Chains A and B, each alone.
Chain A
């Protein structure tokens, strides 16, 4: 009975009901889409950061991370690297010599991270060759060749084939320097990364350091990222005099960013739900106040307060339950479509996104469970929002409400 009455009541003012349903549809569509947009952006950032920058796991000397001193090579690094390469669970691994120092051109100078790589294995891990926009990868064995980011080239005011000087401390603490010729310029989505990371061959860097070929870092990409923690602890046990770190430990700012986005999303969802609830309260209160006489009559003829409360409660719930699936379906279609085609924001925000390490091409993505969660949240919001109008209805005095019997 209550259901039938509530159902009929919501259609007595079609325009108003459709407006409130429309607001629920738009609110849910926008809310779900924004969440999907941010999730897509974060996931992409994470994927890119793992594949291009930090990899899934890295092996270092336990002291290396503290102040990046060049003397802290991985003990028996070559053996460790060989062993890791043979591990079937490791998709690709790259051994690196890593030095921090100054890079200078005739025009300018700046700080940089010099990464000595074994070209083939590095390319399997970071796909550096694919990111070249000019020049070529380390094709020949010529000494002192360097690949830098386009951004850094702009800053140093150099171009392909220009010479730059890398200056840093060797293992004895003495300042050493070497002139390198630029053979390639690369560009990633992350302008900060491009401005900082300079790639040379590992033997060239080792020679300047005054050591034979030893490594500071082994970066690994896993076949199955889900098994990260298990592999990490196994490697930790295998290479006891090293530190094995996951991308979360290597790039805490990435974890922080993901956590902050999670918090932003909670705030954002709360704002949407608040707006929704005020809309519902307003509509239902209007519906109650314009039916004061009728509700008074219902109470006069014997409809008890629980039923009156339930009627208003049901009306609100029906409005929201009718609108929510429409909003979520629209969101699903939009997210699926843009998730496959992507959203190109390069014309507007490319520079801004790149500064924070994001691609300007976003693929929104939302796991199915989130649709259910949103639906539950909206239902709870609707139920909470209906309390005040329902309470207003049950507080009506039938005598006052109908004025006369």
Chain B
């Protein structure tokens, strides 16, 4: 896919949580994210960052508007179809790592490919490739509880990449990490962005993430207050 092709397009995307006082978490957001972008979503707490990521990631349905991923409109898909769509198109990195504690690092990475019913040969090859990418070959047989926070988050990044998604959504990926570990993780993700041309969208408060983003989108009260292109993806190649 060319870098001038939008991976994500949202059109007048809104999410209203009903209640005595309806909450407009996301308000008429029009967004276009291009292939290979390293985008940071910033804004104060309650500004709608997570809700916007949930909508883009197909974890939630919008109240209004539409989301296109690689040209397919996903907001009208059924829940089951959305699960299948997420499996094959979207990688997730969670703030709390959210690895499966009973599986080893290797098995956690392999898990998504098992869901995709990939062959053993392909799984083995891809897992090894990813373990090398995140520099965890030596730790592959350890369970999450035996790994440091940074190592766990690197496993989470490898897991997100395992399914060869269109893009990766990461919610505050460095929030639980010390600065050195966070820096190393960022290096890994930047390298993946450069080498694999992988599209990343972060919600973050971390200035180090913001500093390395191509694009910084500031959300205020569910609306885009500022959309700043810092560097074009091709600058990195």
A residues near B, CB below 8 A?
1, 5, 8-9, 11-12, 293-294, 297-305, 307, 398-399, 402, 404-405
User: Nearest Cβ in chain A — how far from B117, in angstroms?
Assistant: 9
Residues in B neighbouring A298, C-beta threshold 8 A: 100
Q: How far is B195's CA from A171's CA once the two chains are assembled, in angstroms?
A: 116
Residues in B neighbouring A398, C-beta threshold 8 A: 59
Q: Please tell me if B101 contacts chain A, counting CB pairs below 8 Å.
A: yes
Residues in B neighbouring A301, C-beta threshold 8 A: 86-87, 92, 111-112, 115, 159, 163
Contact yes or no, B103 A5, CB < 8 A:
yes
Q: Please tell me if B98 contacts chain A, counting CB pairs below 8 Å.
A: yes
Contact of A405 with B171 at beta-carbon distance under 8 Å, contacts A1-B114, A8-B102, A307-B115 already known:
yes
Which one of B2-10, B50-58, B124-132 is at the interface? B50-58
Residues in A neighbouring B116, C-beta threshold 8 A: 302
Contact yes or no, A302 B60, CB < 8 A:
no
Q: In terms of DSSP, what is the predominant structure of the interface of chain A?
A: helix
User: Nearest Cβ in chain A — how far from B172, in angstroms?
Assistant: 7
- Other A-B contacts than A302-B112, A302-B116, A303-B83, 10 sampled, CB-CB below 8 A, are A11-B102, A300-B57, A300-B92, A301-B115, A302-B115, A302-B163, A305-B83, A307-B115, A399-B54, A405-B50
Interface string of B109-144 (1 = CB under 8 A from A): 001101110000000000000000000000000000
User: Nearest Cβ in chain B — how far from A16, in angstroms?
Assistant: 14
Contact yes or no, A294 B98, CB < 8 A:
yes
Contact of A302 with B83 at beta-carbon distance under 8 Å, contacts A293-B96, A404-B95, A404-B171 already known:
yes
Give the one of A293, A302, A404 with max B CB within 10 A.
A302
Residues in A neighbouring B103, C-beta threshold 8 A: 5, 8
Contact of A405 with B102 at beta-carbon distance under 8 Å, contacts A302-B163, A303-B115, A304-B83 already known:
no
Q: 3 tightest CB-CB pairs across the interface, nearest first?
A: A302-B87, A8-B102, A297-B98
Q: Please tell me if B169 contacts chain A, counting CB pairs below 8 Å.
A: yes
Q: Please tell me if B180 contacts chain A, counting CB pairs below 8 Å.
A: no
Q: How far is B171's CA from A297's CA once the two chains are assembled, in angstroms?
A: 13
Q: How far is B102's CA from A12's CA once the two chains are assembled, in angstroms?
A: 7
Q: How far is B115's CA from A294's CA once the two chains are assembled, in angstroms?
A: 16
Q: Please tell me if B88 contacts chain A, counting CB pairs below 8 Å.
A: yes
Q: Please tell me if B84 contacts chain A, counting CB pairs below 8 Å.
A: yes
Q: How far is B54's CA from A402's CA once the two chains are assembled, in angstroms?
A: 11
Q: How far is B227's CA from A370's CA once the two chains are assembled, in angstroms?
A: 73
Residues in A neighbouring B53, C-beta threshold 8 A: 405
Residues in B neighbouring A299, C-beta threshold 8 A: 83
Q: What are 10 residue pairs bridging A and B, where the CB atoms are less than 8 Å apart in the complex? A: A1-B111, A297-B92, A300-B86, A300-B92, A303-B83, A305-B83, A402-B98, A404-B172, A405-B59, A405-B94
Contact yes or no, A402 B80, CB < 8 A:
no
Q: How far is B103's CA from A170's CA once the two chains are assembled, in angstroms?
A: 91
Q: How far is B53's CA from A307's CA once the two chains are assembled, in angstroms?
A: 25
Give the one of A293, A305, A402 with max B CB within 10 A.
A402
Residues in B neighbouring A405, C-beta threshold 8 A: 50, 53-54, 57, 59, 92, 94, 169, 171
Q: How far is B163's CA from A100's CA once the two chains are assembled, in angstroms?
A: 91
A-contacting residues, B51-96, CB 8 Å: 53-54, 57, 59-60, 79-80, 83-84, 86-88, 92, 94-96
Contact yes or no, B54 A5, CB < 8 A:
no
Residues in A neighbouring B169, C-beta threshold 8 A: 405
Q: How far is B98's CA from A402's CA once the two chains are assembled, in angstroms?
A: 9
Residues in A neighbouring B54, C-beta threshold 8 A: 399, 405
Q: How far is B86's CA from A305's CA once the two chains are assembled, in angstroms?
A: 13
Q: How far is B94's CA from A297's CA once the two chains are assembled, in angstroms?
A: 9
Q: How far is B170's CA from A404's CA once the two chains are assembled, in angstroms?
A: 10
